[in-house]
Amino acid sequence: MHDDNSHDQPRPASAGADRDPLARGESQPTGKPAVEFRDIDIFYGKFAAVRDFSLAIRKGSFVTLLGPSGCGKTTILRSIAGLVDITSGQISIGGKRVDDIPIYKRNIGLVFQNYALFPHKNVFDNVAFGLKYRNVPKPEIVRRVKKALDMVRLPGSETKLPSQLSGGQQQRIALARAIVFEPEVLLLDEPLSALDANMREDMRVEIKKIQRETGITAIFVTHDQEEALSMSDRIVVMNAGLIEQIGSPAQVYDQPATAFVANFLGKANMLPGSVTAMDGNMATIALASGHVVKAAAPKALTAGSAITVVVRPQKLTVGTAGAANRLSGRIVSTSYLGGNAVYEIDIGAGTPLRANTLIDGQPLREGETVDVCFDPLGCVLLDAQGVRIA
């Protein structure tokens, strides 16, 4: 057992509200959560892969563990399945503690990144596998396999070998195999990352659809923010074994709890500066770049305190006169994306600003001098520790 005081990495104090397992957005219905983690620590020798992980997942919801590789998201997923032993804490599935229940009795559906279909068994035997070990009678197996294959839109593929299927098809079979025995939780370990871009988007929609139709509780692991934002009811952002923020996609995107979340999701612009004055709930901030901007502050800030203004690239307007907070700069690079364009604009600070705007007429050219504006209400303030001021 490790000592709680031994944490060498203090977690941001005021982010606590966002870490609350059932924090916001969802009211907890009556009954036990489908999956509950309490104070999970997972150590590999002396290395802490996961620390202080607490989370309750509502039945039927789609929860994503999002973070860079090595953040502990896959370790958590594997701990539910029983593929990784937890060092301390409790995991419950449907209100039952499972820490000591061996993997094969946990009733969990697992979808792996590399599909993990049995190469020596045909599609039918692959999908029927879980049912066979649940003593389901043969005619019932045939019926349910057929239903599962219909659901993943591969009817009639029973006699094919996995090697005869494309990557996307293999992943559908893997999905059918995982849901056919109606597990209590469906665990998806980066199931889309081995697929090519087009296939990935189709599968995203499909997985979400199947999850909704079956009403199964799903835990999805990914490092892809787009996948997380588009599929999840709730996102758990993890970094270095710790939870950074738990919230709905809109919450983690619009109100990042920490500098890490702001950066990891959508590469926000981080403008360091210090508070010079407070006027009601509006703070005046002198940026390190020399500009003075105004930003709505959820509480009174003391003048002189260090602060970071976080602005999403989409919240920056380029070239149009208007709103307050006008920063002038020069376009360093233009990425044309069809309907919109991403500009990098040098405003005299260290890193250029990124602005993602709809193109009105012609995209702006590199070297042009432009004004960049943002709404004082369209930004988030982080304190000196990189934690959102709430």
Partner 1 sequence: MTKGWKLYDQRLAWVLVAPVLLLLTLLLLLPIAMMTVYTFFTFVTAGVESAVLTFDNWKEFLTDSYYHGFLWKTVRVGAITAVICAILGYFPAYFIWATTFKHKWLLLLLLIVPFWISFTIRTFSWIHILGEQGLINVVLIRLGVINEPLPMLYTEGAVIMGLLHFLLPYMILNVYVSLEGIDRTLIAAARSMGCTSAQAFREVTLPLSIPGLGAGLLLCFVLAAGSYVTPQLLGGSRDALFGNLIYDTIMGQLNWPMGATLSIVLFVLLGAAAAAYSRYMGLSQIMKGLSA
What residue ranges bind partner 1 (CB under 8 A)?
Answer: 81-83, 103-106, 108-110, 112, 114, 116, 118-120, 129-130, 133-134, 161-163, 177, 181
Q: How far is the CB of 80 from partner 1 (least distance, A)?
A: 10
Are the C-beta atoms of residues 301 and 373 closer than 8 Å to each other? no
Pairing of strands 380-382, 234-239: unpaired
Q: Could you give the 3-state DSSP secondary structure of residue 37?
A: strand
Q: How far is the CB of 72 from partner 1 (least distance, A)?
A: 18
Q: How far is the CB of 122 from partner 1 (least distance, A)?
A: 12
Residue placing its CB nearer to partner 1 in the complex, 109 or 352: 109
Residue placing its CB nearer to partner 1 in the complex, 103 or 384: 103
Are the C-beta atoms of residues 53 and 76 closer than 8 Å to each other? yes
| H helix runs in the chain, sequence order | 16-19, 73-81, 123-132, 138-151, 167-179, 197-214, 225-231, 249-254, 259-264
Q: How far is the CB of 187 from partner 1 (least distance, A)?
A: 8
Residue placing its CB nearer to partner 1 in the complex, 108 or 257: 108
Q: 178: which 2 tokens?
A: 């995982």
**DSSP secondary structure string for all residues of 266-277:** T--EEEEEEEEE
Q: How far is the CB of 41 from partner 1 (least distance, A)?
A: 21
Q: How far is the CB of 86 from partner 1 (least distance, A)?
A: 17
Residue placing its CB nearer to partner 1 in the complex, 163 or 302: 163
Residue placing its CB nearer to partner 1 in the complex, 109 or 256: 109
Residue placing its CB nearer to partner 1 in the complex, 105 or 365: 105
State the Cα angle at 98 between 92 and 104, rounded to 5°: 130
Question: What's 258's DSSP letter?
Answer: B
Q: How far is the CB of 181 from partner 1 (least distance, A)?
A: 7
In single-letter form, the type of residue at position 352 comes to: P
Instruction: Name residue, tokens 């705007």.
Output: 357
Residue placing its CB nearer to partner 1 in the complex, 108 or 192: 108
State the Cα angle at 357 between 351 and 358, rounded to 5°: 160
Task: Enumerate residues 6+ apart whose C-beta is below 8 A from 125.
Answer: 118
Q: Which of 142, 174, 171 is nearest to 158 (CA)?
A: 142
Residue placing its CB nearer to partner 1 in the complex, 174 or 252: 174
Residue placing its CB nearer to partner 1 in the complex, 120 or 143: 120
Q: What are phi and psi of 109, to 5 degrees?
A: -100, 130
Number of residues written out for the chain: 390
Task: Enumerate residues 6+ apart whose C-beta is below 8 A from 77.
Answer: 65, 187, 189, 219, 221
Q: How far is the CB of 100 from partner 1 (least distance, A)?
A: 16
Per-residue three-class SS string for 344-387: EEECCCCCCEEEEEECCCCCCCCCCEEEEECCCCCCEEECCCCE
Q: How far is the CB of 291 from partner 1 (least distance, A)?
A: 52
